[in-house]
Chain A
Amino acid sequence: MSGDRDPGLQPERTRLAWRRTTLSGTVAAVLGMKAALHGGASAPAIAACVACGGLWLGFLVLAHQRIRVLASTTAPPALHPRRATAAALCTVALAVCAAALVI
């Protein structure tokens, strides 16, 4: 299988792109948790913190499943639109969480 490897390393590059994106998500989620717990550990603050953590975990699972598919074959199938939508909605939900914290 590794004999007819793509010389452009497209699956590997895509895999690393998912990793980079997860890392960016981690930074955003950590900033969110810090913002949530800034004013003390009240019930809404903890809820916001848990929401940020949950969204981060959701994105991590989405990314990891895709990374596994990309790593398993040399000509992986295209990204499923539902996964793309879910990943984008995780990002949107993080922004909504942030807006709630800012106001």
Chain B
Amino acid sequence: MSEFVRNVRLWFAPEGVRQEGVTPDYRFSLANERTFLAWLRTALALIGGGFAVDQFLPDLRWGWRVGLALALLAAGVLCSLRAVNHWVRCERAMRRGEDLPVSRFPALLGVVVAVVAVAMVVVVLVGWEG
């Protein structure tokens, strides 16, 4: 947890990142930046999905609709916060010449998206019958 707090401090005090180690090859930094942007796009897609559930499934019961939309939005928030955190961690690891950090977040997100998708299928089928 203290590691996470230290990372959050680095988001807002960027000088801390640049003081450590040596500047890596700019191409590695740019690749890290593109990975960050790809995660941000994933987050934006999840948020767009949340809006879409709310807008385009109006026949669903209120609870299901709001629940699914909020689950997607929460996943989007987590995804974007994690994107910055992972970017900072990778940048620091590269500066220090360490291995890049591993993460179980992609697997977790995959499971969450799969669960939401299955819930969506069930809800739409049940919604049409009722």
Residues of chain A with a CB closer than 8 A to B111's CB = none
- Check B80–A78 contact: CB distance below 8 A: no
Contacts between chains A and B (CB distance < 8 A), count:
134
Which B-chain residue is minimally distant from A28 (CB atoms)?
B48
- Check A81–B47 contact: CB distance below 8 A: no
> Is A82 part of the contact surface with B, judged by Cβ < 8 Å?
yes
In angstroms, how far is the closest chain B Cβ from the Cβ of A44? 16
Residues of chain A with a CB closer than 8 A to B27's CB = 6, 8, 10
Complex CA gap A82/B26 in Å reads 18
A91 contacts which of B26, B31, B43, B55 (Cβ < 8 Å)? B43
In angstroms, how far is the closest chain A Cβ from the Cβ of B41? 5
Given contacts A88-B81, A95-B76, A102-B70, contact A27 B55 (CB under 8 A): no
Stretch from B9-17, B96-104, B114-122 that touches the partner = B9-17
In angstroms, how far is the closest chain B Cβ from the Cβ of A93? 10
> Is B45 part of the contact surface with A, judged by Cβ < 8 Å?
yes
> Is A17 part of the contact surface with B, judged by Cβ < 8 Å?
yes
In angstroms, how far is the closest chain A Cβ from the Cβ of B103? 16
Give chain A's interface secondary structure class.
helix
Complex CA gap A47/B113 in Å reads 31
In angstroms, how far is the closest chain B Cβ from the Cβ of A72? 13
- Check A75–B45 contact: CB distance below 8 A: no
Residues of chain A with a CB closer than 8 A to B65's CB = 102
* Chain B, 11-67, CB within 8 A of any chain A CB: 11-12, 14, 17, 23, 26-27, 29-34, 36-38, 40-41, 43-45, 47-48, 50-52, 54-55, 65-66
Give me the interface of A with B, judged by CB distance under 8 Å: 6, 8, 10-11, 13-14, 17-18, 20-21, 24-25, 27-28, 31-32, 34-35, 38, 75-82, 84-85, 87-88, 91-92, 94-96, 98-99, 101-103
10 contacts between A and B (CB under 8 A): A18-B37, A21-B37, A24-B48, A34-B51, A34-B55, A81-B11, A81-B14, A82-B14, A84-B87, A95-B47
